[in-house]
Amino acid sequence: DAGVTQSPTHLIKTRGQQVTLRCSPISGHKSVSWYQQVLGQGPQFIFQYYEKEERGRGNFPDRFSARQFPNYSSELNVNALLLGDSALYLCASSFSWTPPLYTQYFGPGTRLTVL
């Protein structure tokens, strides 16, 4: 079975631009979460969606937004890019967003570089 897929794998943008990252969850999973991982640190939680509704939001500015589609895929949008947004963006999927079926499985990530 296919795991979590993310596109693109790599992306280079300049400051002030906007970017959209995409994620397809494991078949049957209805929850998608997004994380940002800056080099040398652990992943930081950005958003969690379940059945198209936002279920959790981390401490990130309003420049970050996301949505989940009826097929449970998801997009993460970042506006007005800053150099500090350069990171590995990870998507994770799970059956649900509450116990016990909320174990998350991660994709390979999208490497975003902001110049």
Partner 1 sequence: DAKTTQPNSMESNEEEPVHLPCNHSTISGTDYIHWYRQLPSQGPEYVIHGLTSNVNNRMASLAIAEDRKSSTLILHRATLRDAAVYYCILSGNTGKLIFGQGTTLQVKP
Cβ proximity of 88 and 37 under 8 Å: yes
> Which structure tokens are listed for 84?
């500090």
Footprint of partner 1 on residues 71-90 (CB under 8 A)?
A: 90
- 30: which strand partners? none
Q: Which is nearer to partner 1, 19 or 110 (CB)?
A: 110
How far is the C-alpha of 46 from the C-alpha of 36, rounded, in Å? 7
Instruction: Select the residue interacting with partner 1 from 23, 97, 112, 114 (CB under 8 A).
Output: 97
Where does this chain bind partner 1 (CB under 8 A)? 4, 31, 33, 35, 41-45, 48, 55-56, 58, 90, 92, 94, 96-99, 102-109
